[in-house]
Each structure stands twice: as C-alpha cells, then as structure tokens.
Structure 1
C-alpha cells in the first residue's frame, strides 16, 4: 500500500522508522500464519476470510473520517480503483500460495525485487523518466535474481516463478497507487482496496469453503488481527514521517520472514539465495535513495 503523510508538518523520522520496523515484524508473522493455514486449507478460502476482516477494518476507518463512508468511497476513477484492488487480491493469493510451495525464505528473497520492478515499469506505465543510474540498479538487481534462481545449472526450481509473478503484480499495484493518488486521497484508495477485494474474494472463495479445525480458527483470528494491526501501523508510519525516509526499512520484512521460515518451519538459507537477496536489496536501496534525491 502506498500512502502519503496526512500532516505535511509532521516528519518524525525516528518514530516513523520504529513504526515501519514494527510493521515488518507484524507482516512477517502474518506471512508465517498464512503459510501454515494455506498449507492446511485452500489458499483462496484463507485469503477470503482475511479480506472479510480487512474490509471491516477499512469501513471502520472510513466511518471515523470527515464525511464518513460516502466521502471515502467517492472517486472519479472507479475503473482504476477496482483494477488495483483486484490486482492486490490476486497478488496476495499468489504470494500465499508461493509460501506453501517455495517457503518463506526463497519467496521473500525473490519478492524483494519489486522496488526495482516499480522503477523499471514507472516509465511505460506512468511516463516517468528512468535515468541511467536507475537502469544500472535494475540491471544489478537482475543479476541478483539470476544468482537466486540459478537458471541453466540444473538446480532451477520452476516454483520460483510464483513469487516473481507476485512481485510483478505488486509492482503494478504500487504504480497504480501512484496513478490513483493524482486524483484520489489515500483514504479513498484504502477503502476501495478493502471493500472491492472482499467482494471479489467472496465471489471466488465461497466455492472453495471447507471445514476448519477449532485450533486453526484461532490461527485464522490471529491472521486477521495481524493483518489489521500491520495496516494500522503502516498508516501511522506514513502519517508521522515521509515515505521516502522510512521506505528502505521495509526490507526488514525479508529478514524477519526468513528468520521465521528457518526457526519455525525448518527452512534453510542457501548461500546463493543470501548473496542474491543482498544484491537485490542493495540495488533496491540505491533506487529508493535516487528517488528521494530526485524528489
């Protein structure tokens, strides 16, 4: 989700960094719970229930703002809002499925390339100018991706395409956020994200409903709580500090999610994944820094 600080006078960077790190911890826990539940039940059903709570959250947030739900829902570009909401819902399904097939470590290592994809696609989609420095960073990130995937060495796992698809979808979603922000407020985009996503996932998910064990309903409640908490922390983060100052710390989710995959699920961190992910993160941080300098 992309957001702008609601108070231009507020730029408490230390607090914003703390909130962003807390956000990454919560989202890493959410990913771990998603991995468990989607390993036991259909991914679409799990995401559907998660979206029900997400929709309730955004409606509650909208009802407390000036103008209420009607003001939050008002948009001059419903097509863009619906498209981006559907894209995020689909991306979450792909990402969660990737957790069950590839694990948290490898999935997040590949997914870390999404800021580079945003930089690469910002030209054709938004008409932004992409200079040679950013193209160089994108190229370096591509090298890191090749190190992770190791194509042609007989060890390439086709399942690695899953988090890559997720990263592409999330990058396009992020660019559509920027496009929507030209005419709509963050509150409006947030409202459409939750409500349209919930409707779409319900239409798709009811066909995949299956009984859930009582213990797993506890995990499902925890998943929904972490989802709401993570989004609330993210909103607060962008309210108290500039996005360009705190966005680099979002990479901590890669660290926390990988640690959870290793400790909780017994995954391993292969040397090529660690090296490739480090290269991708460095290239992404450089891209974010260049974006801040240009801004």
Structure 2
C-alpha cells in the first residue's frame, strides 16, 4: 500500500538503491579486470539465490517457488542473464557512467515495444523516445572514444532489459514479486553453472568475498526499490531513479579517474530529460484514464 505521507523516506530509499546498484557495477568492473565475466556473474547469482532462500523461505515456504507461468519466468530469468553478461562485459571497454546512461534507454525502448505490440502511444511519448535516442547518439558520436563496436554491449543489455521489463509486467498480475525475483536468480544460477565450467579460475579469498558481496548488493538494492514505492508514488520517485547515473559518474571519477566529456554530459541530460518527460506523460495519461 502506498503511503504518500512519507515521500521523503521513499526518495531516500530510491537514492540508496541507486547508490548500491552503481557500487555493484563499479565493483563488477574492478573484478572483471582479473576474472572472466561469467565467473563474476555466476558467483553473484548463486550468492543472491542463497540469500533469498535464507530470507524468504521461512516466511513464505513453498510459495517462493510457485509460479502460474513457468515459461515466462524462464524467459524473464534468461533475459536478466543477458542484461548482466552484456552490461558487465561492456564495462571492460565503456566507462561506468556512459554505460549506465545507455541502460536508462530502457523506458524509451519499452515504449517502442509497446507500440509494436499494439498499445496506443501519444505524440509526446514518441518525442521522448526520439530525444532519448538522440541522447545516446550524443554520447556515442562519430569521432568520440566510445564510437567502437564495444558500445553494442550496453545497447544489447538495454534491449534485454526491455524484454525483462515487458515480462515483469505480464507476470505482475499472477506471481508474487519475491517469487519472480527468486526464480530469475535461480535461472541465472543454473544457466551460468553450465557456462562457468568453461570459464573457471580460482579466485583469492578476498576476491571471492567481493564477488559474493555482489549478490548482497543486488538483492538489497532491489528490496529498497520495492519498498520505496510503499512510501511515494512512481511519479514522485521517477526523477530520483536517475541518481544512479550520477553515482556511477562519481564512482567512475574517484575510482577509475574518468571524466565524461561535454558530449557525454549533454547525452546524459537528454536521456534523463526524456525519461522524466516519459514519466510525466504516463502519469497524466493514468490520471485521465481514472477520471
């Protein structure tokens, strides 16, 4: 139940989630300098699956595993694996803030996919989509350091994340959110357990603990996101979800000594503005629909 009397608390939770997600990505970027991407992502999924089992099975029991739509859950889990592998692989070549900004194209891509599936899209929403794409072009413009085939990795991650969001919509009416998140984590653990056999490298104790911490960071971040919407509306929180790009930029600067150029900063602003415009239009459309 939404408790709009505490919007400030919801905003704090959404900002904390963005910081944890940016930290997760920054730590993943560090670890993949020394270990295969599949190994790092596998440990993250296995640790997250174990944590969710310990936290939720005492309260939910077998309901954690029960789904009315197993095939959709399998596809959702596979799409999330695609997001993780493509995005973290991209971090080996693309600065953290720029890669994060590309992922935030997802709301615009979801709108495009919804139009293709027959949903009516207004002129303002189409304008937001076009502006978002222009924002990416400002970041990845000809002549810039990012104008390489490697940029296709975060773009591919954004496409996979779009599929993940669409499937989440379909499942929200039938399956519990904890079940959906647990099954996605379980699918990732199983799929990557096969692939990791061909990408195995024994990590040091310190690095193994860092990999395990990725699962904790990811799980806590998603729990914070879920709880944030109990205290504030989606429209109130939408501007603050883009704080993750800011946090990614700060981590990129202080840890990796990368400063985005003027074109990238312009692209960030356009993508954020497009996303906020999309959120405003969706809010207005919802208000008109409910009278």
TM-score normalised by the chain length of structure 1: 0.90
Give deviations 1:144-186, integer Å, cap 9, x for gaps. Answer: 1211111478972221111111111111111110011132222
Alignment of 1:211-230 (within 5 A): 211-230=202-221
User: How many equivalent pairs are there?
Assistant: 286
Please name the residue that 2:229 is paired with: 238
Aligned equivalents of 1:240 and 1:64: distance in 2?
A: 26
Greater Cα shift, 173-182 or 105-114: 105-114
Pairing 1:80–2:48 present? no
Contact 2:51/2:216 (<8 A) preserved: no
Structure 1's consecutive aligned runs of 4 or more residues displaced over 6 angstroms after TM superposition are 152-155
Residue 202 of structure 1 and its aligned partner are, at CA, apart by 1.4
Greater Cα shift, 270-279 or 238-247: 238-247
Pairing 1:114–2:109 present? no
CA RMSD of aligned residues (A): 2.0
Residue of 252, 263, 266 corresponding to 1:272 = 263
Pairing 1:193–2:184 present? yes
Contact 1:81/1:192 (<8 A) preserved: yes
Residue 190 of structure 1 and its aligned partner are, at CA, apart by 1.7
Contact 2:141/2:147 (<8 A) preserved: yes
Pairing 1:174–2:165 present? yes
Please name the residue that 1:50 is paired with: 44
Please name the residue that 1:4 is paired with: none
Q: What SS does the corresponding residue of 2:119 show, helix, strand or coil?
A: coil
Alignment of 1:57-68 (within 5 A): 57-65=51-59, 68=60
Greater Cα shift, 30-39 or 195-204: 195-204
TM-score normalised by the chain length of structure 2: 0.91
Residue 27 of structure 1 and its aligned partner are, at CA, apart by 1.0
Residue 199 of structure 1 and its aligned partner are, at CA, apart by 1.3
